[in-house]
Chains A and B, each alone.
Chain A
Amino acid sequence: MKKSKTKLKDNPFMISCKEFDQFIIDYLERQLPFIKRLIFNLHLLLCSDCRAYIKAYQKSIEVGKKYYEEMGKETREDPPEELLEIIRKLKD
């Protein structure tokens, strides 16, 4: 958020990108109190850098999820005979 930095700093509803960054986790966990959420959304509305950032941040999480989901689908591992043997020998 590069424009009018000094003017914005004096406004209690305006935060810097750095402060915005610290709100992200609570925002995504839906734990931001109402006023903070308002401040967060206002920054998001005004700052294209943070809009692009959070979009890529969320997309990265989705990509990670999908990657492991696909890996899980492709994993075909049978239990080793050694383990099955141990299980077969289990007693009460």
Chain B
Amino acid sequence: MFVNIQPMSLEIDEEKFIQLLKDKNNEAQTLFVKTYYSNMFAIAHRYLENKEDVEDILQESFMNALKKIDQFEGRSSLKTWLTTIVINNCLMNLRNKKNKKEHSIEEFLPTFDENGARVGEPKLNTAKSVDEIIHDREKREKIKEALDMLPTHYKAILLLRDIDGYSVRETAALLELSEANVKSKLHRARAALKKLLESIFKE
């Protein structure tokens, strides 16, 4: 059966499109992959540095999604549902990977004196807009370096909560951690990021 589905109709008639996926319509399945691949690539690449790993994870994720499409109940958009599958697979990949030599998060945490007062905090200029910072090529390179220096596990928590927008509860569920643990680690990850980004606020 030939079904003419234009990419735009995916947004408009998602319900119909999902039904075609549930019916195992091959054109719809191909369109599903073509439509979301680039977006999912960008998301997976935040978690996994290696491009080949990203491609493997995406292949696995799209196959998982198409196999499990009957379980999709429409409580979120198709894209959100697929994103969760991709991120879950990325997290599984990170868990199974032998840890590369990483910095300790302690290196980047704030320090306090015996009275609990902050010490060693440099004067920073945070007046520049985020847009200005991002469009400065040199600063952008430093941001990349800073993010790459974060220990993997902490970076994943930061990505889930601050970038991909999962709540603390959802992040805890995805990582199989307690909410208290997620909050503590999230704070450390953010504090470390702040420390690592100090150089871009100094100029």
Contacts and interface: CB of A to CB of B under 8 A. Distances in A.
Contact of A60 (B62, B66, B186, B194): B194
Nearest to B197: A60
Q: How many interface residues does chain A have, given as a range? A: 35 or more
B29 interface: yes
B158 A64 contact: yes
B162 to A, nearest CB: 5
A78 B117 CA distance: 52
B16 interface: no
A24 interface: yes
Interface in B118-160: 118, 121, 123-124, 126, 130-131, 133-134, 140, 143-144, 147, 158-159
Summarize A's interface: helix, strand, loop or mixed. Answer: helix
B116 interface: yes
Contacts, number: 139
B63 interface: yes
Interface residues of B, number: 55
Given A68-B163, A87-B29, A18 B112 contact: yes
A68 to B, nearest CB: 5
A63 interface: yes
A49 B117 contact: yes
A88 B31 CA distance: 11
A88 to B, nearest CB: 6
B143 A67 contact: yes
B39 interface: yes
Interface string A58-92: 01111111111011100111111011101110111
Contacts of A52: 121, 123-124
B187 A16 contact: no
